[in-house]
Structures are given as structure tokens and as C-alpha cells.
Structure 1
Amino acid sequence: MKLSTMIITLSLPRFTSCFVSRSIHPATSIAASSISLQSSRLFGKSSDEETELIGVGVSRLDTLQTLLSERGAPGSRGCSQGGGDIVPIPLSSSSSSEFKDLHPHLLPLARSQSTGNVICALRRAYADDAGYDSPSLASPWPIVESAVGLPGMRLLSLNSEHLMRRICADTDANLEGDDAQRILELYNDGLGSGSLGAMDVPYEMGSVEKLGYGLEKYVLLRVGPFPDLYETMANQHLSRGDEESSLIAAEASNGKFGGFGSTFAFYAKLLSSLPNREEECRDAARMCVRMPLPSMGLTVSDFATVSKMAQYADAADNTETALQKLRDMYEKIREHEQDENNGDKSVKQTAMEDANYLLDIACLTGQKYGEVREEIANIYRSAGMESDADFADRIQ
């Protein structure tokens, strides 16, 4: 790597984490007064201890789990099959030891019987001791796909209400008669008790056809942003030879899902398919290292691809070598940032960065997340972040 390139890379500020974050991208920031959360007892460490009542930022959880079981999760890799393949995970079972090696900030909601992949809610942590307005913990939790033992996650939706509305639109476009009506009735029952006021209007059969632009455009125009649909849009433009529109779609996705490296990974992949875009591809891939590393993809293969597109690794390197080179650069960036920002962080900001470092290294080295849960909880607890500590340490 050229020295000038390394200096530019090291001088870029690292983006705030979507897992341990100081701020939320505007697309995900919703006033706490509009949120209606389901509360559940999650953190009983033994049958003799009193459990702690906490808010779960997943609107209408029972409805979400039913719709997932019926229709699957649109946009997922391994949880898209409906017809009962997706089995709800009761909140009382979410702290079971079988989920110990799931990313510590994920709450499992449902699991595919055929693939083992898990639909989860992502619980963020915030520094409320910093000199700015910290987002409320009442903000909705993004919905992601992951699995026990996988290093990363795949963003599906910014919140549960968007995902449920999309499932309805998919049903409207692909089912007919009583089967479709039954799904829509499941969704419409309980509207008004969710987290997004804009989603409180009942879904009407025929809405996709009435708009006249097809399912995917209906979802983007009438429901909300979804990363997989922006990828589809970009690929469709490219297949028609419209390079400019393809890149615009990918860039729009980067702006709508702040804190997730996977959108930049797709952008880099798109650029890599175009002539004379090597440097832009490299720079887009390097943006992934500015995000929480588990957010750049679902599998180690996804991470290795990013390392190669970023030109940290060579195209001929195997996965293990590519990940090691990615880690080497990650460590250099972190060391540079620590030198630049020494003494410039609040107690909770420092705790969040320390926790994020453990998670990043675990996903790069293959260390089981269960092995770092207690240490992460101790970091949070030492900074007075008790609820974050309890969530990370709820699985013994």
C-alpha cells in the first residue's frame, strides 16, 4: 500500500457504531413519544433472582412473529421461506444457552428450521453522558438476520413495523382470495398500538396493483427503505446499461442505513463490476472498516471479499489470510484514533468503544461471542451502563 493512501485511510474518522452508538442516522430517528414498546422479563439470571422489567424495541412482536411464520422474511438469505419454516422464539426462551454465541447485542425473535438462521432485533447502546442529545433507548430496534456461530448480520429492516407492512405488500402481490385476506387481517388487527404512526392506516387489498409500479417500487414508495431493494434497483439499472442510475441507487442506500457497513460493501462490489472504477471500489470497501465490523456482512466470506476489494488483501489470498490483513489494518486505524482522541471521550463513550473493539476482533478471528459476553458486560457495568450490561450478560 502506498504511504499516501495509508495516511488518508488512517485520518478518516471512524463512524459511530450502530451497535454501540452516540447517534442514530436521521432515517432511524423517531420521537420517543411515538413509540409503543412491548415489555418483557428477560434477564432472570437464576430462578431465585428477581427479573428486571425492560422495554423491547420491537413493535407488535406477536404479530411480527406470526407473519414471519406465515410468509418468511423478505430480503433475507436463509429466512425467506414461509409456511411454518420460521418458528417464533418466545421472549422467555431468548436468554437460553443455545443463543450464547449469537452476537451479544441481538435479541433472537424467530428461527428457520431449514437453515438455522435467526431473525433478530438489534439493541443499540448509547452514551448519555456526552455533550449532545443522545437518542432515546425507546427508538425502534432494527431487524436483522444472523445465526449462532456466524460473525456478522444482515440488515433486513429499520424496524418491525416496516417489515410487517412489507410482508403485507408481498402477500397482496403474490396471493389471492382468502389466503391473502387472512394475512392482511392478521396485520391490520392491532394497528395503532405500534411504533410508527405512519403505519397505522390499515393495509387494503389491491394497493400494489392500484399504485401501478410493481411490488418493489410500491414498498420503497409506500412502506419504507430496505437495503435489499436498493440493491435490486441498482442491479436492474445496471442490467439495462444505465450505470449512472445504478450508482445513484447504491449511493442512496448508503445514506439511508447509517452505521451498517453492508451497504458500502454492496457499493464496492457494484463499482468492482464497472471499468476504471478500481480506486472508487477500494475507497467504498474501506468505508466498511469505519463501521462496526459485524455489520459488513453475514459470513466470513463476506468479510474476506471486503478485505480484497479494499486492497488490504490480494485477490489470490485465501479467506484466513484476507481476514488477517483486514485485522492488521483495523488495528492500525484504531491505534491512530487512540493517539488522536486521547482524553477526548466521555466515560460511556470509552466503554462503548472498548466493547466494540472486542466484538470487532471476535468477528475477525472466529472467537465465539459467548466468550466475550461477560467481559463486555463488565465494561458496560463499570461505566454505569447497567441495562446494556444486563442485556449482554443475560445468557449464562
Structure 2
Amino acid sequence: MHVATCSGARPIRHIRARVRPFSSSGHISFVKDVASAQPPEHLHHLLKMLQSRGETIISPGARQGLIPLAIPLSENLSGAVTALLRWPTAPPGMEMPVVEVRKHGVWLLAKNVDQYIHRLLVEEDAKNSKENGSLLFDASSEAGNKLYRRGDFAESQIANIDVYLLKKVGLFPDVLERKVMRHFENRDHVSALITGEFYIKKDHFPGFARPYVFNAKILLKVGRVLEAKDAARVALKSPWWTLGCPYQEVAGIAKWEDEQIEYIKEKVTEEGRQEDLKKGKEPAQVALDEAAFLLDLASIEGTWDDSLERVADCYKEAGLNEIARFVSYRD
């Protein structure tokens, strides 16, 4: 069944007590040895860039209170945490996305580290801030030189930075959502709906429910209530911690009360597990489903640590011992 809060939502909380002096080697070895993943080539440069922006580098094992699939990188002054997301069963070749960690889950910032570095450089360049911009460009070093040439945005003569990002850098949820809202401001509902449909193409943001949530909201905005309900229900088939807003907000559009929560609570009981096994479902799949259900339930209140041990056990039962170790790891 399973393989982030609204953009104005407050960040989760401060975790400065867990800060360690900057060194990318800790994060690189953590990704490789604990998360059992290939470290992004330019992770070191991204960490230096985040630090140059005034963010505090966080130990990758400082994960108390965070969704257990996140590898924290940095925290900004408002308390927002930037992290890598380690999908438990990612398709081959899928890179780790860069996300902002929030109380109810994650918000996708970029599909991979290179894309995020590229975006940060474009945004800094567009500000025309020579002093601060130089710090960021210096921190990006050879990764920056490879991904973006300073001045390209101005030379492109593309007036709107969001248009530049979509054309030259990649697709980003917040950029696409702003594009839709601009169409509404211009009273161009047709273009708004077309962009909303583009947003939900399955190969654009695989695994993330947020595009369907946003599409449901714009359908509601134009009075297409039944289609909005269907879109919300599609969203709720993806991990609830990728909705980009609290579960209840989407359940309301889907016209679901608490029955889906009760259904999932039943699925994670011993009786629910035995019922699935009797139906012929493979034990490993039952365990994976239970882990996904537990993360969904935790996302409703943001109480990730409460179910941590059982989630790790589920991954062990599914034969994913490395993921189990990663999920339960804490400094």
C-alpha cells in the first residue's frame, strides 16, 4: 500500500543541544554505514552551503522526535530542520530527496542534493547580493561550478525566478503551487487546473502525496467537489507523512471521518496481522505494511518515537535488517 505540513506551517522545534562542530565526514559515513545508502556526491558542498547561510549543522544521529526516515543536516534560526529522506524500499536508482522535517512529516525541497544546490545558487544569484552571494558560491566550490554559472539567471532574461527554476533546474512542489495560485490571481482557472494536473503526474514526485492534496484543494476552489474528494482519497493512499499538511485537513476533503484511522489501528493489531496472513499475504509484506501503517498513525500527532521500536521490528521481520538498524539509531 505504501512505498508533507502546509507551506505556512510552523517548524517542529529547536534541537541546538545536539549540534556538533561542522564536518561532513560524519554525515557521509552515516549515510553509507548506518542508512546503508550511497552518499550523494556533493553532500559535503551542500552542508558547507547550509552553514554559510547561517544554519547550524546537526549530527545525523540527532533524530529524537523526528520522523525516523530522516537524516538531519541542519537547522535554521526559526527551528526548521533540513534533512535527507531515506525511503525504506526506494526504487533502484532513486536518489535521496532533500526535505524539510515538520511535525506531521516532511515537505519536499528537492529530489536530490544536486538539484537543491542548483536551486540555492539560482535564488542567491537572483538577489544580486554580491557579499552574501559570494559566501554561498564559495561554499559550493566545484559542485557549484558544475551545476550553475553565476549570472545565468540575469542573462536568460527570464523575468520570473519560478519560471527559470522550472525550465532550467527542475520541478519543485512550492514553485508549482505558486504557479497555480498566480493563475488564480489572474482569474485563469483553466491554466490553474492544467498546472494542477501536471503536478500530479506520477513520475514527477513518486511516493509523495502532496501533489494530490494540492490538486484536491484547487478542485474544491472551483467547485468540483466530487473530483476533489477523489483526489484527496488518492492522496491518502500514499504515506500520510508526505501530505504536506495534517491528515485531518485531507480527510475532511475526502469526506472521511475517523473510520480510516480506526481501520489502520485494527490492521496493526495481532488479529489484523493474522487476518492478512490467512488471506495469503506474504509475511514480509504484512510486516512492511505494518511499518507503513505505524508511521501513518504517528504522523497524525507527530509522535514518532512512540512507535519506533515496533517499526524497526517490522523491518527486521521483512528482512530489511539494515533499514531496521537505521530507523532505531540515535546518538
TM-score, normalised to structure 2, is: 0.81
How do residues 36-47 of structure 1 correspond to structure 2 at under 5 angstroms? 39-41=28-30
Aligned to 2:177: 231
Indicate yes or no: 2:155 matched with 1:210. yes
Mapped pair 1:327 → 2:261 = yes
Partners in 1 of 2:107 and 2:35 — Cα distance? Answer: 28
Runs of 5+ in structure 2 lacking a partner? 5-26
For 2:142, what is the secondary structure of its paired residue? coil
Matched with 1:9 is none
Match of 2:190 in 1: 244
Cα distance, 1:177 vs structure 2: 3.1
Q: 1:280 aligns with which of 227, 232, 235?
A: 227
Q: What are the within-5 Å matches in structure 2 for residues 1-396 of structure 1?
A: 14=1, 16-17=2-3, 39-41=28-30, 54-55=36-37, 57-71=39-53, 84=54, 86-89=55-58, 93-96=59-62, 99-114=63-78, 116-126=79-89, 135-136=91-92, 139-147=94-102, 150-187=103-140, 189-191=141-143, 201-213=146-158, 214-255=160-201, 256-275=204-223, 277-298=224-245, 302-313=246-257, 324-328=258-262, 342-345=279-282, 347-364=283-300, 366=301, 368-395=303-330
Contact 1:42 1:95 in 2 (8 A): no
Mapped to 2, the partners of 1:144 and 1:211 lie a distance apart of: 28
**Superimposed CA distance per residue, residues 115-156 of structure 1 (whole angstroms, 9 cap, x where no aligned partner):** x22111110122xxxxxxx833x6321111114xx1221111
8 Å CA contact 1:59–1:140 kept in 2: the answer is no
* Cα distance in 1, alignment partners of residues 276 and 284 from structure 2: 19
Q: Is the 8 A contact 2:35 2:326 kept in 1?
A: no
Once structures 1 and 2 are overlaid, which stretch shifts more, 224-233 or 116-125?
116-125
Deviations 1:69-89 (A, max 9, x none): 444xxxxxxxxxxxx1x2111
- Name the counterpart of 1:11: none
Structure 1 residue ranges without an equivalent (≥5): 1-13, 19-37, 44-50, 72-83, 127-133, 192-198, 314-323
Instruction: Give 1:333 shift.
Output: 9.7
Q: Distance in 2 between matches of 1:381 and 1:330?
A: 21
Instruction: Give 1:217 shift.
Output: 0.9
Q: Structure 1 pair 218/333, CA: closer, same or farther in 2 (3 Å)? A: farther
Residue 180 and residue 362 in structure 1: after superposition, are their counterparts in 2 closer, same or farther (change >3 A)? closer
Shift of 1:339: 6.4
In structure 1, distance between residues paired with 2:278 and 2:157: 52
Aligned residues: 301
Distance 1:240 1:225, change over 3 A: same
Post-superposition CA distance 1:236-295 (Å, at most 9, x none): 1111111111111122111211221111111111111113x1111111111121101111
Distance in 2 separating the partners of 1:154 and 1:359: 16
Distance (Å, rounded) in 1 between the aligned partners of 2:227 and 2:35: 48
Displacement, 1:328? 3.6
218-227 or 151-160: bigger deviation: 151-160
3-state SS in 2 of match to 1:266: helix
Distance 1:52 1:286, change over 3 A: closer
Higher relative helix content: 2
- 1:288 and 1:296 in contact (8 A); partners too: yes
- Measured against aligned partners, the alpha-carbon deviations of 1:289-346 in whole angstroms (never above 9, x if no partner) come to 1101111124xxx322111111124xxxxxxxxxx355146569998xx76993244x
Between the aligned partners of 1:60 and 1:207, the Cα distance in structure 2 is 21
Paired letter, 2:292: N
**Deviation per residue, 1:164-193 (Å, 9 max, x gap):** 100111011112434434422332x233xx
Q: Give, in whole Å, the separation in 2 of the partners of 1:252 and 1:330.
A: 31
Identity within the alignment, %? 26
